Chain A
Amino acid sequence: DAEITQSPRHKITETGRQVTLACHQTWNHNNMFWYRQDLGHGLRLIHYSYGVQDTNKGEVSDGYSVSRSNTEDLPLTLESAASSQTSVYFCASSESGGKLFFGSGTQLSVL
């Protein structure tokens, strides 16, 4: 069955370190998204991509970057982790104009 996989499930890092969260989907979807979820804020869009080599900033993109070198993967990089980036991160994918499917999430703690 097609799926969307995030790794790691849990990550603890220190302030200032670079961190990369992986997202891999086997749906062959063109669209991929990264969201963060914080209490009181719901799900906020960080970055999104509508195809290979395409990346776009969402509403909370500062301090994050993504790259899309193939259809299946959209890794999220925190260039220099900050305590404010402690959160649960969700990756999602969809076909254009289609249903959105989520991964299981990554719990990131920045100490």
Chain B
Amino acid sequence: GIQVEQSPPDLILQEGANSTLRCNFSDSVNNLQWFHQNPWGQLINLFYIPSGTKQNGRLSATTVATERYSLLYISSSQTTDSGVYFCAVEGDDKIIFGKGTRLHILP
């Protein structure tokens, strides 16, 4: 089946810093989504991005489907950005998640 790998597994940054999270996948996929799990456990859909680039405030995402990766950019980090970021791909008739990147923003 499709393998999804995220890097780095953990990231600690000072408030105001920028960061780039990566998601690699092993096969062609129909779509890709990014999620943020906040410290209370809620999973929020950030982007639905099968290809191209999208922006939402300080967050943006780029998916290069032909090279099988996606990047999530967070600019001017805030403490509320802390949590775990997951990417998920749809392929093989199901949605598969990576293991996530745990981001901790220090005040």
Interface residues of chain A, those whose CB is within 8 Å of chain B, are: 33, 35, 40-45, 48, 56, 58-59, 88, 90, 92, 94, 97-102, 104-105
In the complex, the answer to whether A40 meets B99 with C-beta atoms within 8 Å is yes
Q: How many A-B residue pairs have CB under 8 A?
A: 47
In the complex, the answer to whether B86 meets A43 with C-beta atoms within 8 Å is yes
Shortest 10 CB-CB contacts between residues of A and residues of B: A42-B99, A102-B43, A43-B97, A99-B48, A42-B97, A99-B45, A42-B100, A105-B41, A100-B33, A45-B94
> What's the nearest-Cβ distance from chain B to residue A35, in Å?
7
Q: A88's contact among B41, B45, B86, B97, by CB below 8 Å, is which? A: B41
Secondary structure type dominating chain A contacts:
strand
In the complex, the answer to whether B97 meets A97 with C-beta atoms within 8 Å is no
Q: Chain B residues near A105: list those with CB within 8 A.
A: 41
Other A-B pairs beyond A43-B97, A48-B94, A98-B48, 7, CB < 8 Å: A41-B99, A42-B97, A42-B98, A59-B1, A90-B43, A99-B33, A100-B88
The count of chain B contact residues (Cβ–Cβ below 8 Å) is 21
> What's the nearest-Cβ distance from chain B to residue A9, in Å?
10
In the complex, the answer to whether A104 meets B95 with C-beta atoms within 8 Å is no
Q: Chain B residues near A99: list those with CB within 8 A.
A: 33, 45, 48
Q: Chain A residues near B30: list those with CB within 8 A.
A: 97
User: Which partner residue on chain A sits nearest B84 by CB separation?
Assistant: A42
> What's the nearest-Cβ distance from chain B to residue A30, in Å?
13
Q: Considering the chains assembled together, what is the distance between the CA atoms of A41 and B99 in angstroms?
A: 6
Please list 19 pairs of residues, one from A and one from B, whose beta carbons are closer than 8 Å in the complex, sorted by A's number: A42-B97, A42-B99, A43-B88, A43-B97, A45-B95, A48-B94, A48-B95, A56-B93, A56-B94, A58-B94, A59-B1, A88-B41, A90-B43, A92-B43, A97-B30, A100-B88, A102-B42, A104-B41, A105-B41
